[in-house]
């Protein structure tokens, strides 16, 4: 299956040779494994600061493709959607999924062995069980007060 993220022509294992802030735009985008977890709504415990992921997805998330349905123009609909950059990872890491390549590299951890950059196959993130494809419900369907019934393991 063709990869919805352009990972062609990249230097082999560039993520082990460069810091995040040294990567080109294409390299940076290629780090995304396509899991869809950052498009899930989160619940934050006001006292402990702990963040729980729910399977209640952003209104623009397409559960069938596991991608944003309006990525280039998403901010017209979801202005709060964060554009991840090397500069803002430190501020956002606390809510990013443990599996996320950006968070892992920022923490000095390796990419997981199912990452499409290592396997050459965009399907391996889905086969690994990490992806949210076919697992979400839309925020249109679940009232805010019921999100806690949909908490998932990170």
Measured from the CB atom, the residue of 32 and 52 that comes closer to ligand SF4 is 32
| 29, two tokens | 């985008």
Q: Does 38 bind ligand SF4 (CB under 6 A)?
A: yes
Task: Compute the Cα dihedral for 88, 91, 96, 98 and give only its sign.
Answer: positive
Interface pick for ligand SF4 out of 10, 43, 81, 142 (rule CB under 6 A): 81
Q: Least Å distance between CB 124 and ligand SF4?
A: 13
**Interatomic CA distance for residues 114 and 116, integer angstroms:** 6
Q: Does 23 bind ligand SF4 (CB under 6 A)?
A: no
What element of type H or E holds 89? Answer: helix 89-92
Burial level of 78, CB count in 10 A (0-12/13-18/19+)?
A: middle
Q: For the segment 92-121, give every residue that binds ligand SF4 (CB under 6 A).
A: 97, 100-102
Window of 9-17, 18-26, 34-42, 139-147 that interacts with ligand SF4 by CB under 6 A? 34-42
Closest by CA to 25, choosing from 85, 71, 65, is 85
Measured from the CB atom, the residue of 52 and 68 that comes closer to ligand SF4 is 68
Burial level of 144, CB count in 10 A (0-12/13-18/19+)?
A: exposed
Q: Least Å distance between CB 61 and ligand SF4?
A: 4
**What is the binding site for ligand SF4 (CB under 6 A)?**
32-39, 58, 60-61, 68, 74, 78, 81, 97, 100-102
């Amino acid at each position: 299956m063709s990869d919805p993220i352009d990972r062609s022509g990249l230097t082999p294992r560039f993520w082990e040779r460069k810091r995040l802030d040294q990567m080109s735009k294409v390299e940076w985008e290629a780090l995304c494994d396509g899991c869809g977890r950052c498009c899930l709504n989160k619940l934050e415990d006001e006292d402990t600061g702990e963040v729980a992921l729910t399977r209640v997805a952003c209104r623009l998330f397409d559960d069938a493709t596991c991608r944003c349905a309006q990525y280039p123009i998403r901010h017209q609909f979801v202005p709060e959607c964060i554009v991840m950059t090397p500069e803002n990872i430190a501020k956002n890491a606390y809510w990013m999924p443990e599996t996320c390549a950006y968070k892992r590299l920022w923490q000095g951890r390796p990419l997981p062995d199912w990452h499409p950059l290592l396997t050459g196959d965009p399907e391996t993130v889905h086969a690994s069980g990490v992806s949210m494809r076919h697992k979400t419900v839309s925020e249109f369907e679940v009232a805010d007060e019921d999100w806690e019934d949909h908490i998932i393991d990170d």
